[in-house]
Structure 1
Amino acid sequence: MQDQNRNLILATALSFLVILVWFVLFPPPEPVTDPNATAPTAQAPAAGGTDIALLPPAATDGTPALPEAEAATAAAPEAPRVRIDTPELEGSISLIGGRIDDLSLRGYFETLEEDSPIVRLLSPVGSEDPYYALYGWVPAGSSDLGFEDVPGANTEWAVESGEVLTPETPITLVWDNGSGLIFRRTIEIDANFMFSVTQSVENTSEAAVRLAPYGIVARHGLPDDLQNFFILHEGVVRKVDGQLDEISYNDLPDLDFVEREAAAAEIVAVEANGWIGFTDKYWMTTLIPGADQPFTSVTKYVASADIYQTEARLPAMDVAAGETAQVTTQLFAGAKEWETIRDYEAAGVERFIDSIDWGWFYFLTKPMFWLLHTLNVLIGNMGLAIIALTVIVKAALFPLAYKSYASMARMRELQPQMEKIKERVGDDRQKMQQEMMELYKREKVNPASGCLPILLQIPIFFSLYKVIFVTLELRHAPFFGWLNDLSTPDPSSIFNLFGLLPWAAPEPTSILALIFIGVLPILLGISMWLQQKLNPQPTDPTQAAIFAWLPWVFMFMLGSFASGLLVYWIANNTITFAQQYIIMRRHGYKPDLFGNIRSSFQRKKPEAK
C-alpha cells in the first residue's frame, strides 16, 4: 500500500515536470492580429420611439430610446480639442461629439522605469483601446424633432467660453441646430477625478419641445490589463436604489438579448441616488446623476462591434417656447483612492466607497484596510505597515489561537502512544481508530478542539489577503532593497543567483519564473516548514508524506503572487511559530529553532486497573 502511494506521488510529480518542460519547449503561439482590420466604431444606442417598451411601467414615462446610427468617426483623434489640465489629470475633450475621450493620470505610472509613461485611462475612437464618455440628447414625446436636430456622437461643437479645463476655469461648448434650439454643455472639474457636466437646451422656436439627456461610458473590447482572477471584480459596478450590483466583463455577453437595443442588455429603473460605470482593479469611470435624480440604468454588450457600454438615461424634459432647461450629472474618471472616494461619498455620492471591491467579508475588509492605511501613514512604509498589521491581528486573536496551539501540544505529547498503537494493530484501520478514541478519552484530549479557533480565523485572514491584493495603495509601494513594488511578484530569482550573475531573471509572465523563484517565496517555504515541524504529525504515512511536501509545493505555487502578500504570509508564519514555540515550552517541550522537539519531562504511565 505504501509503495502504491509512493508511486502515485512520484507519477504526479513527473507529470507536472513533463508539463513544465513541454511549455518551455513549445510555448503556445501568440494570437495573430489582422493588420488590415479596422477598429470598431462606437455603438449607436438602439433605435426606438418615445419610450422603451421593455422597461417597467413606472419607468417608461418619458424615458426615450437612444438613436440608432450615431457611429463615432474613425478620425476622432484628429478632431479639434480642448485641453484638460489639473493636478491629477491631463488630456483633452474632443469637439466632435464633445466626448471626454483622452485622459491620463498624472500621479500614476505604467511601470517603475524612469521613462515610464503615465497611466492612460480614456482613449478616443481610432486609438488602440477606445474608452470614452459621451453625452447627448434624444427627441421624445410627440415633438417633430428628429435625431439630426439634437446633439449626438458626431456633432461638431464650438467653444463658447474657456480655453483650458482646470479646477478654476470651466469650459462651455455650444451647438445651434439651426431650427431654434441652442444646446450648451458646461464641463467643470475638481482637483481630483470628478467632472460635472451641465447639459442645457434653450428653445428659441415658437413651439414646445420634448427631449431627454443621457450619458454613456463605452469601452471597445476588453481592457489589456484584465486580471480575470476570482478574488477581484472587473466590469460593471452600479448602485440601484441602495443595492450595489456587479457584473463582470465575462458575464455581459450572457445578458438577455434586447431587440430594441440590438445588444445583450439589462435595463433598470432607478428612483434616486444611483450611479453606474466600469471598474478595473485600480481605475474606474462612473456616471453619477444627481442625488435625487431618477434615471434609467442601462448595461449592455454589443457583440457585432465588441463594445461594452453603460448608460444613464435621464427622464424627458418639456421645454416651452422661450424657455431653457438644464440638468447636471457627474463623471468620476480616475484612480480608486480610498481617501478620495470616501470624500466623494461624504459629499453625497451614496455608497461610493463600495465601488472598491471589498468582497464578501466587507465588514472585516473595510476596517482591515483602514488599519493598514493608518499604519502606513504613521510608519511611512507599506511593507512595515503590513507586518505591523499582522502583529496586531495575531495579538488580538492570540487568546483564541491559544486553545488551538495548546491542543496541538497535547496531541504531540500523545504521539509516542499513538505510534505504539499503530505498531500493535498494523493495517487494521478500524481497530486503530477505536484504540485512538480510547486514548483520547483516557487522556481527556479532544483532537477537534483546535479546529474551531482556526476556522474562526479564516475570514479574518482572507480579508487581509483581499485588502493586500485589490487596493490601489499597494500598487508601486516600496519595501526595502530590491522590493520596490509590493503589488507585483518578487523580482529576484535563483536563475541569476539573486542578481550575482550577469543575466536577467525570467520575466514574471514566463513559465521559467514559476521554477526559478525569488527570495520571498523561499522564505515563505522555510517559514511554513518551521511552523509545520511544531504541529503533530499524521499517523498515516501517506498523509505525513503529503504534509511534508506542502511547504515546498506552496513555495512554488505562491511564488508568483504579489510580494506584499508574501510579506504578510511570512510575517504570519513567523509569528505563529513564535506563539506555538512559547506555548509548547509551557507544556513541557523544548523545541529548537529548527522545530526539533524533545520533552523536558517524562509523563507518568496510567495506573493499571
Structure 2
Amino acid sequence: MNENNRNLLIATGLSMLVMLVWILLFPPPPVEDTPLPEEAASTSPLGTPTASPPAEDGAPTTPGTTASTAGTPATDAAAEAPRVAIDTPNLTGSLSLLGGRFDDLRLVTYRDNLDADADMVRLLSPRGEEYAYYAVYGWAPAGGLAADAVPGPNTLWELEDGETLTPDTPVELTWDNGAGLVFHRTISVDEQFLFTIAQTVENQGEAPVSLAPYGFVARHGTPDHRALWIQHEGLVRMTDGELEEVKYAKFDGLDPAPGGGYAETVAATGSGWIGFADTYWMTNLIPSPGAPFTSTARYNETSGIYQVEILFPTLTVEPGATEEVSGMLFAGAKEWEVLRDYQNEGGIDRFLDTIDWGWFFFLTKPIFWVLHHIHALMGNMGWSVIVLTIFLKILVFPLAYRSYVSMARMRELQPEMEKMKAAAGDDREKLQKGMMELYKKNKVNPASGCVPILFQIPIFFSLYKVIINTIELRHAPWIGWIRDLSAPDPSSILNLFGLLPYAPPDQGSILFILSLGVLPILLGISMWLQQKLNPAPPDPTQRMIFAWMPWVFMFMLGSFASGLVLYWITNNTITFIQQYTIMRLHGHKPDVFGNIVSAFRRKPAEAGASTAANSGGKPKGK
C-alpha cells in the first residue's frame, strides 16, 4: 500500500468517524403531533373481505357504514368514564370502560429518575394528554352490519365481574347492542407484563352476522427522549418467523395508503406479533399461537399519530351461536428473562427479538447472555461490564497478538524510515521503493496488523450494542458518584469535581461539553497512552491530527452513558497493557512517559543554559 493510498484511507476513516459522532450527538428532530386524518377501507390479505379497525378520528373504515360507536371518544367523555383499577407486582394503573381502553399504565419497579420521590415510568396514557399512547380491542362490522352494532373505541362497557384487575382476579366486561348481539370481554393479567383478552360474541338474533375482531395500539407523536442512531425505536413486527423493524422517522417509507398517508399490511398464517418498541419499553399485540391474522402499520405524513393493528378473519355467527377469539397484549419492560420465558414457555414466536440485537445478532445474543450471568454472580453491572470486556479481550487475544507484533516491528523500523524520508526529500517514488525494500529485508508486512483487527470489530461493536440497549444498565450504580451507568458521568471539572459550591451545567447547556467528568478524562488518557505505543504517521498533518484525537474524543464522548465510557476505558487499558507487554518481549522498550518525565527532570545546568539561551546571555554564577 503506497503512501497516497494510505493517506486516502486515513482521511476517509477520520471523515466517517466525525460524521458518526455528529449523528450520535445531533439526531434528526422528532415528528410533530397533529390530528390523524381519515383512513380508507381495506381488504384482508387472508382472502376474506373484512372491515379494518377504526381509525383514531372517528371515520368509518368499511364501505357502506356510517360513523357511530366506532369513532374516537371526546376527551371529556374519556375523563368521566368509569375505570377498573390494575394492580400487579409490576404494573399499576387503570382500564377505561369507555372502549375498554388500556390507557393508564405505569411500571412499578422503574422510575423516571434517581430522585427519592421520582414518579414511576408511565408507559400508556389516555387521549388528550401529551404523547397519548393506548391500546384498544373491539369488533369491526362486515357483510352489511352497521357500525353501531359492534363495540368500538367509543363503546361504554359494563363491568360484569371483578372490581380490580390482578393476577388472581380477572375482570369481565359486557355490552349488549340491543339488536340481538351480546359481547363479552374477559381480561386477565399475569405477574409480569402480559394481558390476555378473550372476546366473545353471542348471536341472540334470528339472522347470521359477520364481523371481525381486532386490536390496535395508537401512539400520538414520537417519544420525547432522544435515541442514538444505533438504537431502534419504532415498529417491530414478526410475521411467520420474519422480523421487520421500522424507525419512526422511516414510517413514510411504508406503502402509500388510499386516502393519504402510509400503511403496510402483512398476512400471517399462524405466528407473529406487532407493536411499538422503545429502547427499554414496548407495547405489543400478540395473537394466540396458531391463529391466522393480518397486521398493519399506519402513518400519515401530516400526522403524528402512529397506529399498529391486528385483524382476524371475518367470523360468521349463526343465530344462537357464540364465537370467541383470544389475544394478548404485552405492555412493559424489555427484560431478557421475562421475554425469554414468554417465548420458550408461552409459545410466542421469537419474542426475544423484540430486543434490538442489531446486524451482528449472532454475536450480540451470546455476549448479552454472558453479561447477564456475570451480573447475576457479581450483582453490580459496572464490574460486570469490566469483567465481560476482559473476557472478550482474552478471547480475541490470538487475533490481536499478530496486530501488536506487527505494530512493534513497525515501531522498531521507525528511526530508519525517518532517515530514509530525510534522504529521499520530495522524491516519493524513491521513498516508496526504499520502504518496500526495508519491509522486505526485515520481513515486515504493514498490512498484516489490519486483518486481525477487522475480525475484532464485529465483536466489540456487538458489545457496544449490548451495553447501549440493555435495560439492566438503566439506573444501575457502579461506585461512588456513578449512580446510573446509562447516564453521563455527573462529576464535572468545572466545579473541581464537587469541591466548589455550585452545580455543573445541565446536559442541555452549551457548557455541558466542557463539563468533563472523571470517566471522560480517564478515557482521554487511556486513548493517549494507547496511541503512544503505535508508530507515528510520517506526514506532519496526520501526526498532528492523531495527536489531538484523544483529547477531541474526550470532549465528544463525555456526554455518553457512563457504562459505555467505562467499557472504552477498560478496553483501551487492556489493549495498552497487552501491546506494551508484547513490545517489551520483542526487544522494544517504549518510553511512553518519557517526554512528560523529562520535562520535570532536566538538570539545573541544562535549565540554566536554556534560560541563558532564551535571554541571549550566559548563565549567571553564584
The TM-score normalised by the length of structure 2 is 0.86
Deviation at 1:275, TM superposition (A): 0.4
Q: Is the 8 A contact 1:478 1:486 kept in 2?
A: yes
Alignment deviations for residues 108-132 of structure 1 (CA, whole Å, 9 cap, x no partner)? 0000011110100000011122100
Pairing partner for 2:280 from 260, 279, 282: 282
Q: What does 1:424-503 align with in structure 2 at a 5 Å threshold?
A: 424-503=423-502
Deviations 1:343-380 (A, max 9, x none): 11112000110000000000000111111111111011
1:140 to 142, 146, 150: 142
Name the SS for the 2:580 alignment partner. helix
Higher deviation after alignment, 262-271 or 471-480? 262-271
User: In the alignment, which residue of structure 1 is the partner of 2:608?
Assistant: none
Alignment of 1:198-347 (within 5 A): 198-227=198-227, 229-259=228-258, 262-346=260-344, 347=346
Q: Is the 1:161–1:171 Cα contact (8 Å) retained in structure 2?
A: yes
Distance apart, 1:65 and its partner CA: 2.7
The equivalences for 1:9-408 within 5 A come to 46=39, 48=41, 52-53=42-43, 56=45, 59-67=46-54, 68=60, 69=67, 70-75=71-76, 76-141=78-143, 144-227=144-227, 229-259=228-258, 262-346=260-344, 347-408=346-407
Matched position secondary structure for 1:257? coil
**Residue 61 (structure 1) shift:** 1.0
| Cα deviations by residue, 1:403-445 (Å, 9 ceiling, x for unpaired) | 1101111111111110110110112222211110110011111
- Kindly tell me: are residues 226 and 331 of structure 1, through their superposed partners in 2, closer, same or farther at Cα, counting changes over 3 Å? farther
Q: Is the 8 A contact 1:77 1:126 kept in 2?
A: no
Tell me how far apart the structure 1 counterparts of residues 207 and 40 of structure 2 sit (CA, whole Å): 25
Provide the C-alpha distance between the structure 2 equivalents of 1:80 and 1:592, rounded to a whole number of angstroms. 75
Q: CA deviation at 1:509?
A: 2.5
**Contact 1:63–1:296 (8 Å) recurs in 2:** no
Whole-Å Cα distance in 1 between the matches of residues 573 and 52 of structure 2? 61
Q: Give unmatched runs, 5+ long, in structure 1.
A: 10-15, 17-29, 34-38, 598-609
The one-letter amino acid paired with 1:309 is: Q
When the two structures are superposed, what TM-score results if normalisation uses the length of structure 1? 0.88
Structure 2 segments unaligned to the other structure (5+ residues): 1-6, 12-17, 19-28, 55-59, 61-66, 597-622
Q: Secondary structure at the match of 1:258?
A: coil
Contact 2:287 2:326 (C-alpha < 8 Å) held by counterparts: yes
TM superposition shift of 1:140: 1.4
In 1, are the aligned partners of 2:533 and 2:592 still within 8 Å (CA)?
A: no
Q: CA deviation at 1:490?
A: 0.7
Contact 1:42 1:125 in 2 (8 A): no
Q: Structure 1 residues 445 and 280 mapped into 2: Cα distance closer, same or farther (>3 Å)? A: same
DSSP 3-state at the match of 1:343: helix
Determine if contact 2:287/2:327 at 8 Å carries over to the other structure: yes
Letter in structure 2 aligned against 1:267:
T
Q: Distance in 2 between matches of 1:502 and 1:112?
A: 21
Q: 1:83, 1:312 → 2: CA distance?
A: 26
Q: What amino acid does structure 2 have at the position aligned with 1:71?
A: T
Identical aligned residues as a percent: 60
Aligned length: 556
Q: Which amino acid aligns with 1:379?
A: M
Distance 1:461 1:561 in 2: 17
Shift of 1:257: 2.5
CA deviation after TM superposition for structure 1 residue 93, in Å: 0.5
In the aligned structure 2, how far is the partner of 1:444 from the partner of 1:575? 28
Q: Give the conservation status (yes or no) of the 8 Å contact 2:97–2:158.
A: yes
Given that residues 101 and 135 in structure 2 are in contact (C-alpha distance below 8 angstroms), is that contact kept between their aligned partners in structure 1?
Answer: yes
Q: Matches of 2:398 and 2:34 in 1, distance apart?
A: 60
Closer/same/farther in 2, CA of residues 591 and 303 from structure 1, 3 Å limit: closer
Amino acid at match of 1:149: A
8 Å CA contact 2:281–2:334 kept in 1: the answer is yes
Distance in 2 of aligned mates of 1:551 and 1:146 = 69
> CA separation in 2, counterparts of 1:216 and 1:41?
17
Matches of 1:312 and 1:485, distance apart in 2: 38
**Aligned residue for 2:587?**
588
8 Å contact from structure 1 (residues 533, 596) kept in 2 = no
In the TM superposition, what whole-angstrom CA distance separates every residue of 1:144-191 from its partner, at most 9, and x where no partner exists?
520001000100000000000000000000000000110011000000
> Would the aligned equivalents of 1:406 and 1:584 in 2 still touch at CA under 8 Å?
yes
Partner AA of 1:273 in structure 2: S
Q: Which amino acid aligns with 1:224?
A: D
TM superposition shift of 1:42: 7.2
Gap change, CA 1:204 and 1:250, over 3 Å in 2 = same
* Aligned mates of 1:186, 1:320 — CA distance in 2: 22
